[in-house]
């Protein structure tokens, strides 16, 4: 026979177990609802970056049921500081930054933009410049180091006594516009942008690198990483995914992993904070 005190004790024990279970469920729900940050490198002007990448952010949120916030930086110096802090859950970034995160910070590459990308040194038609050597002592606009454009210029002009005058810009579009307007003699911009500026002449084009990759922080669970990867690769088969690809001007997103970018962090050697 169970005494009154035993009965009360059992009820208290059951209530404690129920309270513990509710606390666990509440914590799990809170974790699932936690907002992820999705950062995109500042190749485009900040407002333009928001326009181009918000549809992809919305699609990933819809596909995974996860709240995701798009984050942009005003320039590459600010972006580099945040790279080193590991302050983002998801990042779409250039190949050297993508490899840096994978090698140094435990990020996992989920996918990449299609094809490869190179950088092109372009000059205003009126400058009549055909060789990089003709730009020694003249102005070249480019995004600030450690953006790929600036790093590639260092490779083109290795002699410290024969250098162009570098004019730093927040993004590649502004660099191109300065060349078009004759404010600088030339600009270093991603090759895909060249076709938008018919008044600019190609001086030289660098070797190709993998297009920017999308990687996830180790703070993102393996299950959520897999869901994000599947959503990225399935984008052409979903109406919201197709809208995102249209904004990116891309037919699809390609499968990729950490090996796709291996060795490219070497481009950051010699950069402050590397």
123 plus 190 within the same structural domain: yes
135 plus 251 within the same structural domain: no
Spatial distance between the Cα atoms of 93 and 91, rounded to a whole number of angstroms = 6
- pLDDT-based confidence at 14, cuts 50/70/90? very low
**Domain assignment present for 178:** yes
77 plus 124 within the same structural domain: no
Give the tens place of pLDDT for each residue, 20-42.
433 433 333 344 458 999 999 98
Give the tens place of pLDDT for each residue, 255-265.
999 999 999 99
94 plus 137 within the same structural domain: no
110 plus 123 within the same structural domain: no
Contact 121, 132 (CB under 8 A): yes
**Domain assignment present for 259:** yes
110 plus 129 within the same structural domain: no
pLDDT value of residue 273: 58
Domain boundary among 207, 238, 256: 207
Range of the domain at 103: 34-116+210-268
Give the tens place of pLDDT for each residue, 153-162.
999 999 999 9
Spatial distance between the Cα atoms of 53 and 43, rounded to a whole number of angstroms = 12
**Domain assignment present for 134:** yes
203 plus 222 within the same structural domain: no
Domain at 157, CATH number: 3.40.190.10
**Domain assignment present for 216:** yes
**Token reading at 84:** 């080193």
Share of the chain above pLDDT 90, in %: 72
Domain boundary among 155, 176, 207: 207
pLDDT value of residue 31: 41
């Amino acid at each position: 026979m169970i005494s009154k005190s035993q009965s009360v004790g059992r009820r208290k024990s059951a209530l404690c177990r129920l309270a513990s279970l509710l606390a666990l469920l509440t914590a799990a729900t809170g974790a699932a609802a936690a907002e992820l940050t999705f950062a995109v490198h500042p190749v485009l002007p900040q407002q333009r970056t928001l326009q181009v990448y918000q549809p992809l952010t919305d699609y990933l949120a819809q596909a995974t049921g996860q709240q995701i916030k798009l984050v942009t930086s005003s320039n590459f110096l600010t972006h580099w500081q945040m790279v080193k802090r590991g302050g983002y859950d998801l990042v779409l970034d250039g190949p050297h930054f993508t490899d840096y995160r994978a090698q140094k910070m435990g990020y996992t590459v989920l996918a990449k933009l299609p094809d490869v990308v190179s950088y092109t040194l372009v000059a205003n038609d009126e400058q009549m410049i055909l060789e990089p050597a003709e730009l020694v002592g003249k102005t070249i606009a480019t995004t600030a180091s450690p953006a790929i454009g600036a790093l590639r210029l260092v490779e083109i002009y290795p002699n410290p006594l024969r250098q162009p005058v570098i004019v730093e810009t927040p993004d590649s579009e502004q660099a191109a516009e300065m060349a078009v307007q004759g404010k600088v003699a030339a600009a270093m911009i991603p090759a895909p942008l060249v076709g938008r500026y018919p008044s600019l002449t190609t001086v030289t084009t660098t070797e190709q690198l993998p297009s920017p990759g999308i990687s996830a922080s180790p703070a993102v669970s393996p299950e959520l990483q897999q869901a994000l990867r599947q959503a990225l690769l399935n984008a052409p088969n979903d109406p919201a995914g197709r809208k995102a690809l249209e904004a990116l001007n891309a037919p699809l997103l390609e499968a990729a992993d950490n090996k796709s970018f291996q060795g490219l962090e070497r481009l950051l050697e010699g950069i402050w904070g590397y």
